[in-house]
A and B are shown apart, each in its own frame.
Chain A
């Protein structure tokens, strides 16, 4: 369906320096899938999306949709954005303030080469407005809509021309927290029902994990890892991905010895850590270990087995459905997320234990 290959997009900033926004970006999105570009601000995700839209002209690479090449540096192809036929929802929604709700949604059917008859326009617009539950407000001024309604109108406008591809640029970032949660479900439902191929850009990892079939995590213009949400979270490919997606504890150390069954023992600040690793390691390798807070177990009585350390409770943060503990092990401290039933007081002694399979390890070069 959508195929992006070797995409490089660069542009000069206000001071004339070259911003290397997208560097060697390649991915494919299958028919009907929702693909997310996730990363911190300035990582090149929006530039990648705008390159697909045709709003930026990449320096090199190739972009094709359903076999139709819309950009190719090798063949000198660049299809103007208004000839690509993609729907796009902008971060600001870009609702035209001088038009009504209906006129906003009808615009795509009145311009370009897909002009339709008055009746067709009316039917199509009302159908799509109905889908986003705005049909009651068709004659209202677009500026009189609430944030959530504007967002739905922007979506309706992108969908009305039945685009081959839907591009969403941080569509939920301007909404307040409650509404964002609701629209997240709404968006997922619409996308799954319409089975429209979608590229979604966000810096919010919760959104990405909740919505996507597949996620590409980007940093400094490059894709760090592509995978299903669970893969990204549980088996991050790089230290950056582990750090950016969710919270984590990092421990650095050196591999002390190799044990059978892909198990390794690593010497760290807090003592020896036993872990199971998918990638082969050799004794003497410097590594970083990532352990998610929810995988840092805490108990008041000392359990049996390896990967157990004695610690002191330094700080507690009550979050309602959970409680975060910061515990110190000598000079190091670890973050642990626990059920609120655990009530060890600050300053009290506690035992930390970690499942070897929950430790993700990265070599440090």
Chain B
């Protein structure tokens, strides 16, 4: 069983990388000419000034979006962890909601809000202030940074909250007792201690934004702002499709993300030097903001409106329209259920939803079970080479979704085992893509299982299988459940990998949303989006309930 899991992992994780590199050195194969070795793709990709511009645009976008979400997330985390802002526990729960809204819907919602032609906010502000031009243009670099940064600010919020929480306040208090002022404490102790966390968070956000596909595709492509991910998409969808060129772009992107992920792992490896967590229980010190606490509370509310209320309301509003129109009294009188009728009578709806459910359910199950064994080997044994196994299983982490889709597409086009164009290729790609997440969840809980809990089972006479089944898996259950649900959610809203792999029979919900957008069917898209968000939200609630019910007893 252990051997099978290891072999499976290696196959799943290593193959795409090898074939991506291989393809990037090949000419396209046509009926007349067979593929040969070439450097042409790299020459085409890097020989022009366009590529340099592409590189700069990608970096500018990723840097802007990651910095924006970092600043936003850190401010919120600080307010939430270290101040007496009222109702902050409610805010904490609320600000995680955006994580369940799929990127494509969030982007579409902001187009409906801030596009120069149809944006509601634009129309309102323009009307109020009597401007000649619409004030906001979402189809711009600033618009892309705004949407992407805003959408992923909860991630920064979570990461920085953890960093603030992990810090022992006595470290700050002893600085205060030594005579340091609030600002000196902040500058010389707090920031210095959280520095690795800050840097790691920015890097993680950077890697994530450079992988971002939906925002550049929807906001950038119409006005010619191209980044690597959207260029890969257009290269594949051009006729004849330029897979080699896309691979060359993909390799460049991989180099950037690999450097980022490597830097993050080096940083967290150095964590022990900066170990700020002590075993003793402590109550984090809170700063009394006085009357300012109402300002921070207002800040939270504005944030919540921007990130959840406005996007959801605009989708909800447009889902009850016959054609998309800017809100007016007239528009509100002509509400209709037509878009929902359209959605429910959509010919392939049942099979699409079924595909999504099947894929996410299957992916979550396989990923969590396989990684639990992998993780056991890595954490609990002293086998030589176990660190290599850990790295191999984490390898897909460096693949941007669209690059992974590309790599898997190339592999199964060349090695025909009959899964290209079926749901199986999507299954394989999902498992590959989300395996590192399963590994992280399992590792966290596996590390908490004291070695002696297993050893005592062995001393009681239990074999390895019995111990794994009766001791390890039950103790792992909270992490398994949490990871299972997380993987399920990220699989169900997956778009950037599926977009290169789907066929008309194997569409999933997010692909249908993408197609509706391409067809300009905004109201139908909104109706489907509202239903999609509601069901994801329900799934998260279910997850929390399951978690609290079957969580480990302290």
Contacts and interface: CB of A to CB of B under 8 A. Distances in A.
Interface in B439-481: 450, 452-453, 455-463, 466, 470-471, 474-475, 477
Nearest to A169: B452
A203 interface: no
Interface string B347-390: 00000000000000000000000000000000000100000000
Contacts of B466: 111-112
A229 interface: no
B330 interface: no
B552 A97 contact: yes
Contacts of A86: 459
B283 interface: no
A82 B455 contact: no
Interface in A134-153: 141, 143
Of B382, B455, B456, most buried by chain A (CB within 10 Å of CB) is B456
Interface string B534-554: 000000000000000000111
B475 A82 contact: no
A167 B456 CA distance: 11
B459 A88 contact: yes
B461 A112 contact: yes
A113 B462 CA distance: 9
Contacts of A92: 450, 452
B550 to A, nearest CB: 10
Contacts of B382: 11-12
Interface string A75-93: 0000011111111101111
Interface in A87-103: 87-88, 90-94, 96-98
B452 A91 contact: yes
A96 B475 CA distance: 8
A161 interface: yes
B466 to A, nearest CB: 5
B453 A111 contact: no
B462 A82 contact: yes
B456 to A, nearest CB: 4
Given A94-B450, A94-B455, A108 B461 contact: yes
B461 A83 contact: yes
Interface in B497-554: 552-554
Interface residues of A, number: 35
Nearest to A99: B474
Interface string B120-158: 000000000000000000000000000000000000000
Interface string A50-82: 000111000000000000000000000000111
Contacts of A143: 553-554
A161 B382 CA distance: 30
Given A141-B553, A143-B553, A143-B554, A94 B462 contact: no
B458 A55 contact: yes
A107 B450 CA distance: 18
B461 A113 contact: yes
A337 interface: no
A87 B462 contact: no
A178 interface: no
Interface residues of B, number: 22
A222 interface: no
Contacts of B462: 82, 107, 111-112
A111 B552 contact: no
Contacts of A98: 474-475, 477, 552-553
A97 B461 contact: no
A21 B475 CA distance: 31
Contacts, number: 81
A45 interface: no
Nearest to A114: B461
A157 interface: yes
A114 B553 CA distance: 30
Of A82, A113, A167, most buried by chain B (CB within 10 Å of CB) is A82
B459 A53 contact: yes
A107 B455 contact: no
A255 B459 CA distance: 53
Contacts of B458: 54-55, 80-82
B456 A94 contact: yes
B553 A97 contact: yes
Of B458, B475, B552, B553, most buried by chain A (CB within 10 Å of CB) is B458
Contacts of A11: 382
B459 A82 contact: yes
A191 B455 CA distance: 23
A108 B460 contact: yes
A161 B452 contact: no
B463 A55 contact: no
Interface in A1-55: 11-12, 53-55
Contact of A90 (B456, B461, B553): B456
Nearest to B453: A94
Contacts of B470: 107, 111
A158 B459 CA distance: 8
B459 A81 contact: yes
A68 to B, nearest CB: 15
Contacts of B461: 82-83, 85, 108, 111-114, 161
Contacts of B463: 82, 111-112
A167 B463 CA distance: 20
Contacts of B452: 90-94
B320 to A, nearest CB: 49
B460 A107 contact: yes
B453 A81 contact: no
B480 to A, nearest CB: 13
Nearest to B471: A96
A239 to B, nearest CB: 35
A333 to B, nearest CB: 35
Given A97-B475, A141-B553, A143-B553, A82 B460 contact: yes
B462 to A, nearest CB: 4
Interface in B374-418: 382
A87 B459 contact: yes
B285 to A, nearest CB: 28
Contacts of A88: 455-456, 459
A93 B459 CA distance: 13
B553 A112 contact: no
A81 B456 CA distance: 10
Contact of A112 (B450, B455, B460, B477): B460
Of B460, B470, B474, B475, most buried by chain A (CB within 10 Å of CB) is B460
Contacts of A154: 456
5 smallest CB-CB distances across A and B, nearest first, come from: A112-B461, A108-B460, A94-B452, A90-B452, A94-B456
Given A11-B382, A82-B463, A112-B463, 14 more contacts: A53-B455, A82-B459, A82-B461, A86-B459, A93-B452, A94-B452, A94-B455, A94-B456, A96-B453, A96-B471, A111-B462, A112-B462, A112-B466, A161-B461
Interface of B: 382, 450, 452-453, 455-463, 466, 470-471, 474-475, 477, 552-554
Interface of A: 11-12, 53-55, 80-88, 90-94, 96-98, 107-108, 111-114, 141, 143, 154, 157-158, 161, 167
11 contacts: A11-B382, A12-B382, A87-B459, A88-B459, A97-B553, A107-B457, A107-B470, A111-B470, A112-B460, A112-B466, A157-B460
